[in-house]
Chains A and B, each alone.
Chain A
């Protein structure tokens, strides 16, 4: 078999002035977390418009409640009601709210020591302007319309006028233990208990949405642009001579940049494969079908692709295959330009010819 190992590319790769390709990448996942006994009580309390705190062995009241006593490491013996009013311990101004934050107009972040608590809670204060904020000011929780057992059940805090400060300490967050506890148990929830929330809240779901600009490397960009012209461009390591497709930017054996482009034919062999029988989310082909490692002629590393055009049980190691391209009108700078590989009908490659690529 004659392989076009050193076929030069049509144009020298370093004449391509285009910057690396990049594209927006938005990722999201809804994290589902079990709460455990302490946070379950806290979140269940929020669903009832009540704020629960833990009392540690040294008498300090922590909100959110500590799952284990910071002093004795024991689970908290009792939870107590705190708030819903409190005092701003420190604050900062958020002039341009970010996605997901409690308010989508300028607001203050604050550490708020709720009445009856010793440690402050982080939340937002809907103050309008920074001039309305000051350390030591009184604030009051504003509840979401439909509390569901999550920290955002407190929509935010709002300034509570000049109401008398029960607990007018400005000494950071380390006030004397026990101070202000007379307020603790008296201030239960507002009594508005939604009927549907009798069950304890044991889980929370936290959606995470993040946005990136994902960049391909210079080498990957040349590969993808070449695919857009119906070509497959690999790279050769200047040190060991191995040919990588897709090109990787650095030879994983030698750790040096791969600088020489090599155009490869769109034919090769199946080195190994599997028959996909199990359906999964996002699957685009009816099972069973074959996913294979395809070693292009002249390449030293196989890449994964689909083998169609024959029954799955006809696919075998060493089978010769060729790329089936989508119509050129559908090409972009993407690996999807190659729809799949299909058998060429040529004789199989002998095992010895690809054994070292497995």
Chain B
């Protein structure tokens, strides 16, 4: 069985607003350069490119085509796109490497969420017949999920606030994070619980910020990975699954698709899990679905609560997880990405050192 490994990762600063265009070029050019430098590559070494982005987020048709300028696509390159998080683009790139069509592949994701009203834009990912015409916004949908768990004693508001406090404290060591606790300590759980609701039962600290950003991950076949990287992050399992698009048909207090993806990817015995949980209670759901014990370090990057660039945050989770391997900090890690309302789609990438 052929193998592939992550050999480089870079992400743009996670910020509330960039003055750049929605085609992402301004955010992508610097991080491509950064990732190439890490791996000692140039653009001509890349055999396959795949991007994740959204026209609805950009407010223009075929917005990803302009982003192709950033990759220097002449002479013509082998290139693809998914209207999903860049993590799903990485999956396509991984398949390309495993099938021998490319030795080195690059996946990227980008989104300028500040260009529009993100909560309304995300209503359009819902069923277009019976849900989207009501314009249920993304935070309200997540709040329905949060209350189900609270009412059924599956989690507590204190437990949710603890996720926020831990995430923002961890983000203090991530220079690209959008939000982080100040070095002299952030708000306590009690402070946070006294803040007003954004969408009862959710407080601001329960919700990921609105973020402009981009991320890039480079993977390579076994031979090239050994040659280019001292400690490649070997991908041992990479799976994604989806739950019903009918919100009412799902048990929203769990994430069956995350559990299924985790099982298929062999997501056990990891040291670190970077979870793409845009809401505090969703981290609790994911920990349970993926069977992560207390000993696992969760999202040391700060996770999505410290910065959630749409269509890049999931790819960045895999990148941060891989960095734990390439830096020698961990020996087996998991990167997770989600897409859709209330954790509908889930992807798990398990990586380890050799």
Q: A151–B134 contact, CB under 8 A?
A: yes
B contact residues around A63 at 8 Å (CB): 248
Inter-chain CA distance A135–B148, complex, in Å, is: 9
Residue in contact with B29 in the complex, picked from A101, A216, A218, A250, CB distance below 8 Å: A250
A-B contact pairs, 27 of them (CB 8 A): A22-B19, A33-B128, A39-B129, A89-B148, A90-B144, A92-B199, A93-B143, A93-B197, A95-B200, A98-B119, A100-B120, A100-B134, A110-B144, A124-B134, A151-B133, A172-B251, A173-B251, A210-B121, A214-B59, A217-B20, A218-B19, A220-B21, A249-B29, A252-B69, A252-B72, A255-B29, A257-B29
Q: B19–A19 contact, CB under 8 A?
A: yes
Per-residue 0/1 for A1-42: is the Cβ within 8 Å of any B Cβ (1 yes, 0 no)? 000000000000000000110100101000101010001001
Inter-chain CA distance A174–B249, complex, in Å, is: 9
Interface residues of B in 220-256 (CB under 8 A from A): 244, 246-253
Chain A residues within 8 Å of B, Cβ to Cβ:
19-20, 22, 25, 27, 31, 33, 35, 39, 42-43, 62-64, 66, 70, 89-95, 98-102, 109-111, 119-124, 130, 135, 150-152, 170-174, 204, 206, 208, 210-218, 220, 248-257
Inter-chain CA distance A92–B143, complex, in Å, is: 6
> Can you name the residue of chain B whose Cβ is closest to the Cβ of A39?
B129
Inter-chain CA distance A170–B148, complex, in Å, is: 9
Per-residue 0/1 for B128-149: is the Cβ within 8 Å of any A Cβ (1 yes, 0 no)? 1111111111001101111110
Q: A98–B128 contact, CB under 8 A?
A: no
Q: Shortest distance in angstroms between B72's beta carbon and chain A's nearest beta carbon?
A: 3
B39 adjacent to chain A (CB < 8 Å): no
Q: A94–B199 contact, CB under 8 A?
A: yes
For the complex of A and B, list the 7 residue pairs with the smallest distance between their C-beta atoms, beginning with the closest. A255-B72, A92-B143, A212-B59, A93-B200, A100-B135, A119-B248, A253-B74
B contact residues around A27 at 8 Å (CB): 59
> Can you name the residue of chain B whose Cβ is closest to the Cβ of A220?
B21
B contact residues around A254 at 8 Å (CB): 72
Per-residue 0/1 for B57-90: is the Cβ within 8 Å of any A Cβ (1 yes, 0 no)? 0011000000011111110000000000000000
Q: B248–A120 contact, CB under 8 A?
A: yes
Q: B200–A130 contact, CB under 8 A?
A: yes
Residue in contact with A204 in the complex, picked from B69, B129, B137, B248, CB distance below 8 Å: B129
Per-residue 0/1 for B102-144: is the Cβ within 8 Å of any A Cβ (1 yes, 0 no)? 0000000000001111011100100111111111110011011
A contact residues around B148 at 8 Å (CB): 89-90, 111, 172
Instruction: Point out which of A31, A43, A93, A250 has the most chain B C-beta atoms below 10 A from its C-beta.
Output: A250
Q: B25–A152 contact, CB under 8 A?
A: no
Q: B59–A64 contact, CB under 8 A?
A: no
B3 adjacent to chain A (CB < 8 Å): no
A contact residues around B56 at 8 Å (CB): 210
B162 adjacent to chain A (CB < 8 Å): no
Q: Shortest distance in angstroms between B60's beta carbon and chain A's nearest beta carbon?
A: 8
Q: B116–A210 contact, CB under 8 A?
A: yes
> Can you name the residue of chain B whose Cβ is closest to the Cβ of A244?
B69
Residue in contact with A101 in the complex, picked from B68, B73, B134, B248, CB distance below 8 Å: B134
> Can you name the residue of chain A whose Cβ is closest to the Cβ of B199?
A92
Q: A213–B115 contact, CB under 8 A?
A: yes
Inter-chain CA distance A211–B120, complex, in Å, is: 10
> Can you name the residue of chain A whose Cβ is closest to the Cβ of B119?
A98
Q: Shortest distance in angstroms between B33's beta carbon and chain A's nearest beta carbon?
A: 8
Q: A255–B135 contact, CB under 8 A?
A: no
Q: A119–B69 contact, CB under 8 A?
A: no
> Can you name the residue of chain A whose Cβ is closest to the Cβ of B58?
A212
Inter-chain CA distance A101–B141, complex, in Å, is: 13
Residue in contact with A206 in the complex, picked from B19, B117, B132, B250, CB distance below 8 Å: B132
Q: A66–B246 contact, CB under 8 A?
A: yes
Interface residues of B in 31-69 (CB under 8 A from A): 32, 43, 56, 59-60, 68-69
Q: B135–A250 contact, CB under 8 A?
A: no
Q: A215–B115 contact, CB under 8 A?
A: yes
B194 adjacent to chain A (CB < 8 Å): no
Q: Shortest distance in angstroms between B71's beta carbon and chain A's nearest beta carbon?
A: 5
> Can you name the residue of chain B whose Cβ is closest to the Cβ of A100?
B135
Q: Shortest distance in angstroms between A240's beta carbon and chain B's nearest beta carbon?
A: 9
Inter-chain CA distance A89–B135, complex, in Å, is: 20
Inter-chain CA distance A91–B250, complex, in Å, is: 16
A contact residues around B114 at 8 Å (CB): 213
> Can you name the residue of chain B whose Cβ is closest to the Cβ of A130?
B200
B contact residues around A174 at 8 Å (CB): 251
Q: A33–B25 contact, CB under 8 A?
A: no
Inter-chain CA distance A33–B74, complex, in Å, is: 39
Q: Shortest distance in angstroms between A305's beta carbon and chain B's nearest beta carbon?
A: 20
Q: A102–B134 contact, CB under 8 A?
A: yes
Q: Shortest distance in angstroms between B270's beta carbon and chain A's nearest beta carbon?
A: 29
> Can you name the residue of chain B whose Cβ is closest to the Cβ of A26?
B59
Q: Shortest distance in angstroms between A347's beta carbon and chain B's nearest beta carbon?
A: 32
Q: A172–B247 contact, CB under 8 A?
A: no
Q: Shortest distance in angstroms between A133's beta carbon and chain B's nearest beta carbon?
A: 8
Q: Shortest distance in angstroms between A68's beta carbon and chain B's nearest beta carbon?
A: 11
B contact residues around A208 at 8 Å (CB): 124
Q: Shortest distance in angstroms between B142's beta carbon and chain A's nearest beta carbon?
A: 8
B contact residues around A19 at 8 Å (CB): 19
Q: B22–A215 contact, CB under 8 A?
A: yes
Q: B247–A111 contact, CB under 8 A?
A: yes
Q: Shortest distance in angstroms between A127's beta carbon and chain B's nearest beta carbon?
A: 11
B201 adjacent to chain A (CB < 8 Å): yes
Q: Shortest distance in angstroms between A100's beta carbon and chain B's nearest beta carbon?
A: 4
> Can you name the residue of chain A whose Cβ is closest to the Cβ of B124?
A208
Instruction: Point out which of A172, A206, A253 has the most chain B C-beta atoms below 10 A from its C-beta.
Output: A172
Q: B246–A62 contact, CB under 8 A?
A: yes
A contact residues around B169 at 8 Å (CB): none
B contact residues around A66 at 8 Å (CB): 246, 249
> Can you name the residue of chain A whose Cβ is closest to the Cβ of B146?
A92
Inter-chain CA distance A224–B134, complex, in Å, is: 39
